[in-house]
Chains A and B, each alone.
Chain A
Amino acid sequence: MSNPRSRRRRVPLAVSAGIAATALALSGCSGSGTDAESADGPVDLRMTVWTADEAQLALFQEIADAYVDENPDLVSSVKFEPIPFEDYTTTLTTQLAGDNAPDLAWILESYAPEFVASGALTDIAPTLKDTDGYDYDDLMDSSLELWQKDDGLYAYPFSNSPFAMFVNTDQLEAAGQPNPADLVESGDWTFDAARDMSAAAAETSGKEGLVVRDFDFKAWEVLASVWGGWDAAPWSADGQTCTFADPAMTDVMTWIHDAIFEQGAMPKPGTTADFFAGDAAMTITQISRASSLDDSFGWDLVPLPAGPEGQQNVIGQAGIGVFANAAHPTIAADFLAYFTNPENAEKLATYFPPPRESLLNAETLAEANPKLSEEQLQNVVVEGIKDATTKPTHKNFAKLQDAVRQQLDDLWTADADVSSVLSDTCSAIEPLLEG
């Protein structure tokens, strides 16, 4: 007969062990997931997106439902999961960490090299090329470049939205400034002209001048829309060498610094100004923002100005990738081929300038963008996408973004030494570039 006291100790221990075993079982690995593609019956697909626009989501669903109708044995549903833009990549990687990868996902261009190099995405080129009527050769090489590795394509660049300048013609006129469209025509549309006109308009209106939208002294990569005019870049094309301290970058950053702190042409840190609410004379942003405009003030859309080294178009891209670790990569790639075939790409062009040469014309885009004239679309969108560069990208971009932001914080004061700050920036990021 056992001692009741020792039995009393054993029982809770046994209970605790049982609870622990249950908890471990409940919280344990969910496993890599069975390959549902080999299972019988249709599957459910999931795509993460950063838009919450109901019209856009309705269009996606319409295309997806048509695919489900055509392939009832393959797919039972396609779900689009909106995630707020600010937290998008963070949420996506958290899903990956939790072994809950979506089948397809939108991917931001800045993170393209990191995603492509990591092996997280599957090569979709074979599926796209083998799909009847896909017309793979219609995709522009310049659009695909960022998403390729070796001979593979790891995401489809569904959106190629150029950066352009929106101008408040009412504020410029009130300040006695010329119409930017006239300057474009005469070849005098330069960053210096834009700066001077913005400063004059800001002084007259008491509002702000030129706003580089989304920059807010944190998202420095958006400044690439200005750097292009000076032929400046943060690092070399191979991503190995810092070029922040090069003369071109020093010149353009000095220009930006002076425009903020000396000429008063750009808002100072800590100042909020929304062009679309009438708070500023000009803004550099992507043309997809045109939908935010109403008729409360006169406005125009013109290409990016020229700098000392000429005019450089810049686009913001977004891709759709298929995750290699998701449950149904083959079916997901097949759906992507359907989602982006010529017919559906034309529908998607309503919101996202496509990478297809055949669709990049003012007539097609005019149907989708009623607020923009064919002339604006031709000059800004069609011409803006061709030979455009993208914002800075790197396979180590997340760390670089934060490291550069930390260093450039020293630049955004009135008495900053631009050369010294840029030199320090290079010292800080060189280990990250090499790594």
Chain B
Amino acid sequence: MVTTTAAVLAGDTAKRRGRGKRPRRSAATRGDWIVGYTMVAPVVLGSLAFVIVPLVTVFWYSLHDWNVLANTFTFAGGENYERMLSDQGLHDSLLASLWFSIGLVILNIALALFLAVMLNQKLPGTTTFRTFFFSPVVVSLVAWTIVWSFLLQADGGINGFLNLLGIHGPNWLRGDFTAMLAVIVVQVFKNVGMNMILFLAALQGVPEELMEAARIDGARAWRRFWSITVPMISPTILLVSILTIVGSLEVFAQIDVLTQGGPGNSTTVLVYYLYQQAFQFNDFGYASAVSVLLFIIVLILTLLQWQTRKRWVFNEN
């Protein structure tokens, strides 16, 4: 250990010394420089054209009152942001988004982890089940949702199945709670396969010798899972949490196909509200302000998760 550390330190010192007498850049190095920037240019250009410029543009639009029908585009300063403070519809949509996100994150991560643990066992047929649970991920989102819209009808497949069991199922898409639950479940079944595969990969990376040592020390299955498996896969839990939370705030197609924000406005999540303002009510300025709000929420949640990772993600401290 001492030898290795000394060697690293020596190398570092040599690097620092070398900085004072940097040799002139050779033609070959300049060539590398050009090649390097050429290689990253598409990504930089793409990010500028499709991320940075739209972001700046949307912020610029949010400072305007823009009616596409009347063809008016007038500077409004912070009026759109002030309006958000008193817009009950927006507040309701934030609450709907919160419920949707909580329900989705809890159900999705719990189910994905459960499936991954089950399918990590060395039992016959696990490959078939992995394929079965992953297959919805590759199905078209709209097609998937349309099929569910038929299943969730009052006289649809789900209530038909419940009837066989002697249960009178609710009118899923007409009740405030059941409609939100239905949208969450449809989304969970659509994407749980992806998270399951990520967890499965992480589980297969947990060293067997640690498990073996714990077994020898007398740790039971739950203890081994909680004290070894969970810490070892915590980087994946972080990744899955970020992906799921960000994804939950971007849900749109399921709402549009299944409930169109109803009943009432119980499933009008933030993105659907934004869509209504822009494309149904032609209020693009206000919709831009709402999209800036959505961007800030996603940014804060992601940064928050990233900053708190040291407390709960293995090897991050």
A positions within 8 Å CB-CB of B? 4, 12, 15-16, 19-20, 22-24, 26-27, 90, 93-94, 96-97, 114-115, 118-120, 217-218, 268-272, 324-325, 398-399, 402, 405-407, 409-410, 412-413
Is B53 touching A24 in the complex (CB atoms < 8 A)?
Answer: yes
Contact with A along B30-50 (1 / 0, CB 8 A): 000000010001001100110
Q: Which residue of A lies closest to B25 (CB)?
A: A4
Is A15 touching B37 in the complex (CB atoms < 8 A)?
Answer: yes
Q: Which residue of A lies closest to B44 (CB)?
A: A19
The distance in angstroms between the C-alpha atoms of A272 and B265, with both chains bound, is 22
Is A96 touching B260 in the complex (CB atoms < 8 A)?
Answer: no
List residues of chain B with CB within 8 A of the CB of A20: 48, 52
- B212 an interface residue at 8 Å Cβ cutoff? no
Please tell me which one of the listed residues A24, A119, A120, A270 contacts residue B155 in the complex, with CB atoms under 8 A apart.
A270
Tally of chain B residues near chain A (CB < 8 A): 40
Is A402 touching B71 in the complex (CB atoms < 8 A)?
Answer: no
Is B279 touching A90 in the complex (CB atoms < 8 A)?
Answer: yes
Query: Looking at B66, B71, B150, B284, which has the most chain A CB atoms within 10 Å of its CB?
Result: B71
Is A4 touching B153 in the complex (CB atoms < 8 A)?
Answer: no
Please tell me which one of the listed residues B53, B71, B156, B260 contacts residue A119 in the complex, with CB atoms under 8 A apart.
B71
Please tell me which one of the listed residues B49, B155, B174, B261 contacts residue A23 in the complex, with CB atoms under 8 A apart.
B49
List residues of chain B with CB within 8 A of the CB of A94: 279
Contact A4:B22 (CB < 8 A) given known A15-B37, A269-B171: yes
Q: Which residue of B lies closest to A410 (CB)?
A: B264
Please tell me which one of the listed residues A23, A268, A324 contacts residue B53 in the complex, with CB atoms under 8 A apart.
A23
Contact A405:B282 (CB < 8 A) given known A23-B53, A27-B53: no
Contact A120:B264 (CB < 8 A) given known A23-B45, A93-B282, A412-B174: no
Q: Which residue of B lies closest to A325 (CB)?
A: B71
Using a CB-CB cutoff of 8 Å, which residues 55-94 of chain B contact chain A? 57, 66-71
The distance in angstroms between the C-alpha atoms of A97 and B70, with both chains bound, is 11
- B173 an interface residue at 8 Å Cβ cutoff? yes
Is A402 touching B153 in the complex (CB atoms < 8 A)?
Answer: no
Is A218 touching B153 in the complex (CB atoms < 8 A)?
Answer: no
Cβ of B143 to closest chain A Cβ, rounded Å: 16
Cβ of B150 to closest chain A Cβ, rounded Å: 8
Contact with A along B226-254 (1 / 0, CB 8 A): 00000000000000000000000000000
Is B265 touching A398 in the complex (CB atoms < 8 A)?
Answer: no
List residues of chain B with CB within 8 A of the CB of A410: 263-264
List residues of chain A with CB within 8 A of the CB of B174: 217, 269-270, 409, 412-413
Is B260 touching A120 in the complex (CB atoms < 8 A)?
Answer: no
A-B contact pairs, 19 of them (CB 8 A): A15-B37, A19-B41, A20-B48, A20-B52, A93-B279, A94-B279, A97-B66, A97-B284, A118-B71, A119-B70, A218-B260, A270-B153, A270-B155, A271-B155, A402-B261, A406-B261, A406-B262, A409-B263, A410-B263
- B107 an interface residue at 8 Å Cβ cutoff? no
List residues of chain A with CB within 8 A of the CB of B140: none
The distance in angstroms between the C-alpha atoms of A64 and B141, with both chains bound, is 39
Cβ of A421 to closest chain B Cβ, rounded Å: 11
Contact A409:B262 (CB < 8 A) given known A19-B44, A24-B53: yes
Other than the known A24-B53, A93-B279, what 6 A-B pairs have Cβ atoms closer than 8 Å? Answer: A4-B25, A27-B57, A96-B69, A270-B152, A325-B71, A402-B280
- B181 an interface residue at 8 Å Cβ cutoff? no
Is A270 touching B68 in the complex (CB atoms < 8 A)?
Answer: no
The distance in angstroms between the C-alpha atoms of A218 and B171, with both chains bound, is 15
The distance in angstroms between the C-alpha atoms of A23 and B44, with both chains bound, is 10
Cβ of B120 to closest chain A Cβ, rounded Å: 40
- B276 an interface residue at 8 Å Cβ cutoff? yes
List residues of chain A with CB within 8 A of the CB of B284: 97
List residues of chain A with CB within 8 A of the CB of B314: none
The distance in angstroms between the C-alpha atoms of A96 and B52, with both chains bound, is 24
The distance in angstroms between the C-alpha atoms of A90 and B69, with both chains bound, is 11
The distance in angstroms between the C-alpha atoms of A398 and B67, with both chains bound, is 13
Please tell me which one of the listed residues B68, B173, B264 contacts residue A97 in the complex, with CB atoms under 8 A apart.
B68
Is B49 touching A27 in the complex (CB atoms < 8 A)?
Answer: yes
List residues of chain B with CB within 8 A of the CB of A409: 174, 262-264
List residues of chain A with CB within 8 A of the CB of B153: 270-272
The 8 closest A-B pairs by CB, nearest first: A270-B154, A118-B69, A409-B263, A97-B68, A23-B48, A90-B279, A118-B70, A96-B68
- B281 an interface residue at 8 Å Cβ cutoff? yes
Q: Which residue of A lies closest to B54 (CB)?
A: A27
The distance in angstroms between the C-alpha atoms of A399 and B69, with both chains bound, is 14
List residues of chain B with CB within 8 A of the CB of A398: 280-282
The distance in angstroms between the C-alpha atoms of A355 and B239, with both chains bound, is 62
Q: Which residue of A lies closest to B280 (CB)?
A: A398
Cβ of A150 to closest chain B Cβ, rounded Å: 17
Is B265 touching A406 in the complex (CB atoms < 8 A)?
Answer: yes
Please tell me which one of the listed residues A16, A118, A271, A399 contacts residue B44 in the complex, with CB atoms under 8 A apart.
A16
The distance in angstroms between the C-alpha atoms of A306 and B301, with both chains bound, is 59
Cβ of B314 to closest chain A Cβ, rounded Å: 36
List residues of chain A with CB within 8 A of the CB of B154: 268-271
List residues of chain B with CB within 8 A of the CB of A271: 153-155
List residues of chain A with CB within 8 A of the CB of B69: 93, 96, 114-115, 118, 120
Is B171 touching A19 in the complex (CB atoms < 8 A)?
Answer: no
Please tell me which one of the listed residues A119, A270, A272, A405 contacts residue B171 in the complex, with CB atoms under 8 A apart.
A270
Cβ of B19 to closest chain A Cβ, rounded Å: 10
Q: Which residue of A lies closest to B24 (CB)?
A: A4
Cβ of B312 to closest chain A Cβ, rounded Å: 37
Is A26 touching B71 in the complex (CB atoms < 8 A)?
Answer: no
Q: Which residue of B lies closest to A118 (CB)?
A: B69
The distance in angstroms between the C-alpha atoms of A402 and B262, with both chains bound, is 10
The distance in angstroms between the C-alpha atoms of A407 and B265, with both chains bound, is 9
List residues of chain B with CB within 8 A of the CB of A12: 37
List residues of chain A with CB within 8 A of the CB of B171: 268-270
Contact with A along B1-32 (1 / 0, CB 8 A): 00000000000000000000010010000000
List residues of chain B with CB within 8 A of the CB of A412: 174
List residues of chain B with CB within 8 A of the CB of A413: 174
Is A26 touching B49 in the complex (CB atoms < 8 A)?
Answer: yes
Q: Which residue of A lies closest to B33 (CB)?
A: A11
List residues of chain B with CB within 8 A of the CB of A27: 49, 53-54, 57
Cβ of A50 to closest chain B Cβ, rounded Å: 16
Q: Which residue of A lies closest to B153 (CB)?
A: A270
The distance in angstroms between the C-alpha atoms of A271 and B159, with both chains bound, is 12
The distance in angstroms between the C-alpha atoms of A94 and B69, with both chains bound, is 10
List residues of chain B with CB within 8 A of the CB of A24: 53
Using a CB-CB cutoff of 8 Å, which residues 115-153 of chain B contact chain A? 150, 152-153
Cβ of B154 to closest chain A Cβ, rounded Å: 3
The distance in angstroms between the C-alpha atoms of A406 and B259, with both chains bound, is 11
